[in-house]
Amino acid sequence: MIEKAAMVNQALDSAIPNKAFPQSNRLHDAMHYSLMAGGKRVRPTLCLAACKIAGGLEAWALPAALATEMIHTMSLIHDDLPCMDNDDLRRGKLTCHKAFDEPTAVLAGDALLALAFETASNLSSYPTEVSPDRIARAVGELARCIGTEGLAEGQVVDLECTCVSEQVPLDKLEYIHLHKTAALLEAATVTGAIIGGGSDEQIDQLRGYARSIGLLFQVVDDILDLTKSSEELGKTAGKDLASDKTTYPKLIGLDKSREFVEELLGQAKEQLNGFDPESAAPLVNLANYIAYRQK
């Protein structure tokens, strides 16, 4: 995974046009700053692995994989804004609106979103094995996970919940996480599978896998926030308790949350039955990593 992340980092760095702009490098610099501010590159790695398990070569899906990280970065920049989560730090560095300013952060997010679609739709960056109709389908899949079916919807409902003091019911909590977290992981996986030439049945299975690890990702996040120190996490621990945020441990308890992790991990792996075990291995490893990570 570390090896994949290094490769993705290099490709991301080249994907942002690196030229001297005639009037101002501000927009470019803000995009570059946030995109290269670190991160585990889970979404691109998922996309590449899904392409392989569906019958393609990993490299085929690289443009779409880069797009998933650009979309993810856009959502972090916008969610960090003062009018939303108002965060000054992200991965130990200043957030985009702190390092630059608010308007630049809004516009850098917009520009990264557009760059994602420019990158993913660029026919000439795919090999001939990947037909234009697969590329158009992949673009549609990426687009769908951002708006009312994904990131933005999840954030709007999440913000509505923080405005009321009541505890969030379990179905609403799941709705938020399926939109805020799982939808993009799902799109990354399905996009890779489409580009790799997966059958409809394979794509459905991989969609199920991704939804399970999407929810898993969030439940583990909730557990870590409660059980680890800030030193162990490398970020402020106990934030959820301090802000009285509804989490899985709060709603169903820590033990049941840990059982839920095992259940979701089992569900994810079950969806990989029927695939060649060797090409399924990276996706199994990713699911284990998400479940058992310590930060």
Site for a second copy contains 115 (CB under 8 A): yes
The nearest distance, CB 87 to a second copy, in angstroms, is 13
Stretch that binds a second copy, among 37-45, 49-57, 142-150, 283-291 (CB under 8 A): 142-150
CB-CB contact of 176 with 45 (8 Å): no
Residue given tokens 């405005």 in the structure block: 163
CB-CB contact of 142 with 191 (8 Å): yes
**Dihedral sign, Cα of residue 9, residue 12, residue 17, residue 23:** negative
* Interaction mask 2-41, a second copy, x per CB under 8 A: ---------------x---xxxx-xxx--x----------
Q: What is the CA radius of gyration of the chain?
A: 19
Residues 6+ apart with CB under 8 A from 104: 26, 27, 30, 96, 97
Q: For residue 134, what are the CA distances in angstroms to 100, 123, 158, 294?
A: 38, 10, 33, 37
Based on CB atoms, which residue is closest to a second copy, 53 or 139? Answer: 139
Which H or E run contains 93?
strand 93-94
Q: Which 93-112 residues touch a second copy, going by CB under 8 A? A: 101-104, 106-112
Q: Which one among 40, 93, 172, 228 touches a second copy, defined by CB under 8 A?
A: 172
Based on CB atoms, which residue is closest to a second copy, 21 or 292? Answer: 21
Q: Which 57-96 residues touch a second copy, going by CB under 8 A? A: 74-75, 78, 81, 83-84
Assign residue 143 a region (left: φ > 0; alpha: ψ between -120 and 50; beta: otherwise). Answer: alpha
Site for a second copy contains 121 (CB under 8 A): yes
Residue given tokens 């299975």 in the structure block: 205
What distance separates the 2 farthest-apart alpha carbons in the chain?
A: 58
Site for a second copy contains 129 (CB under 8 A): no
* Interaction mask 147-166, a second copy, x per CB under 8 A: xx--xxx-xxx-xx------
Closest CA to 42 of 187, 255, 197, 193: 187
The nearest distance, CB 76 to a second copy, in angstroms, is 12
Site for a second copy contains 117 (CB under 8 A): yes
The nearest distance, CB 132 to a second copy, in angstroms, is 4
Which parts of this chain interact with a second copy (CB under 8 A)? 17, 21-24, 26-28, 31, 74-75, 78, 81, 83-84, 101-104, 106-118, 121-123, 131-133, 135-137, 139-140, 142-144, 146-148, 151-153, 155-157, 159-160, 172, 175
